[in-house]
Amino acid sequence: MRFLFALLLIPALSFSQEKLKPGFDIDEYLDVLSLAFHSSSIPDSTERLTKKDRYNLVYRSVEKGFMYRWTYYRRDDNVGVIDSRGTINVLPSWMGNFYSAMVPATGTLNLDDTTVFQYRLAENKAAMVHIGWLVALGYLGPDMINQINIQYKESGTKEFILSGHSQGAAITFLVRSYLEYQQKENKIPGDVKFKTYCSAAPKPGNLYYAYDFDFINRGGWQFTVNNSADWVPETPFTVQTLTDFNETNPFRDAKAALKKKKFLVKIAGTTIYNKVDRATRKAQKRYTKYFGKLVYKQAKSIVPQLKEPEYSKGINYVRAGTPVILMADEDYLKLFPDSRENAFAHHLFKPYNYLARKWYKNGTPQ
């Protein structure tokens, strides 16, 4: 009788075991990379006719804001996948990338006349993020939370992969941060777990945002996968000013320290200091003017009720997440040569799939 009871208990125990493990899983990454481009984990269209996909499409949002959209898949072991779509080749979608002034990582955003999006993406008040991708989070984030809670209640799903490629990766950074702090406010059950893959990812915010993002994902729960030949991870433009430094950084108060020096040292040092400080501050102001205020005026035709936020005095964009580097070697460049005519030669599915398989899956590129 005890033996029979033990046999009955085995399926329940195995079902309750965690499916997601910390650490970079090449098969998980290849699956979500394919989902981003093909809405299937099987990239080969012929193979899809005979092979059963592990991932079933459960929900797809409507397009909102700058043509933002996300999709929910359920894996055959009941792990959920939240995929944020990348840039599509229409002007509104690109507008979401160009709208790249920084705003505080905690605050409110008026999406329209009746919708105020309250968000918290970091503990540090100095943390800042990209406004265009924050707008995406404002439109998509609450819908994601609703779907997470539905799946938790109806399907018992407690483990979720967050993923995206390119613009989708940038949005996924902010999604992960948003879900972390929403969970702390009990908007999501406490036993829900997230693992995150950001593929071909631009830089989502400043250093203090990156610190917070890396900290909440410590222990191997987030990976930023970038092709070394891809230009997209180099963006947005970045300038570090003295106000971006930590309060205890001596360079921040170097001008005051120079006043205590001898006359000639003080004059020379102050002149150099002022020129460097003035140049970076001027660059920051111009960037905010063109990629904040000017783009916002153009964007009004797409999101007419979006209220312009107050931009931060900073554009110190840095990379975030645990890096997984897909090194573009000589063999790769023979297959995917640099091309001025094709700016995305290193950015799409084939180059990422090739390098990921080569370096992380037993050297078997496809």
- Residue 74 contacts by C-beta under 8 Å, 6 or more apart in sequence? 55, 56, 58, 80, 81, 151, 155, 157
**Residues 107-143: b if buried by 16+ CB within 10 A, e if exposed:** bebebeeeeebebbbbeeebbbbbbbbbbbbbbbbbe
Residue that is written with structure tokens 């070394």 in the block: 228
CB 228 within 8 A of CB 325: yes
* Total-model pTM: 0.89
Closest to 209 in 3D by CA, of 311, 122, 133, 138: 122
Q: What is the DSSP letter of 308?
A: P
Which SS3 state, helix, strand or coil, does residue 338 take? coil
DSSP strands (E only) in 152-244: 159-165, 193-199, 222-227
How does DSSP assign 128-145, residue by residue?
A: EEEHHHHHHHHHHHHHHH
| 354 dihedral zone (left: phi>0; alpha: psi -120 to 50; beta) | alpha
Structure tokens at 304: 């007419």
CB 132 within 8 A of CB 95: yes
pLDDT at 269: 44
Structure tokens at 14: 């195995």
Cα 30-31-35 angle, rounded to 5 deg: 115
Cα 336-344-72 angle, rounded to 5 deg: 110
Residue that is written with structure tokens 């943390």 in the block: 127
Mean pLDDT per 10-residue segment, the chain (366 residues)? 48 63 98 98 94 97 97 98 97 96 98 96 97 98 98 98 98 98 98 98 98 98 98 92 75 51 45 67 90 96 96 95 98 95 96 97 70
Q: How many residues does the chain have?
A: 366
Which SS3 state, helix, strand or coil, does residue 150 take? helix
Please give the Cα distance from 96 to 99 (Å, whole number).
5
CA distances, 229 to each of 52, 129, 150, 234, 355 (Å): 34, 25, 40, 10, 11
Q: What is the helix (H) or strand (E) element at residue 57, kind and residue range? A: strand 55-60
User: pLDDT per residue over 274-296, tens digit each?
Assistant: 666 688 888 889 999 999 999 99
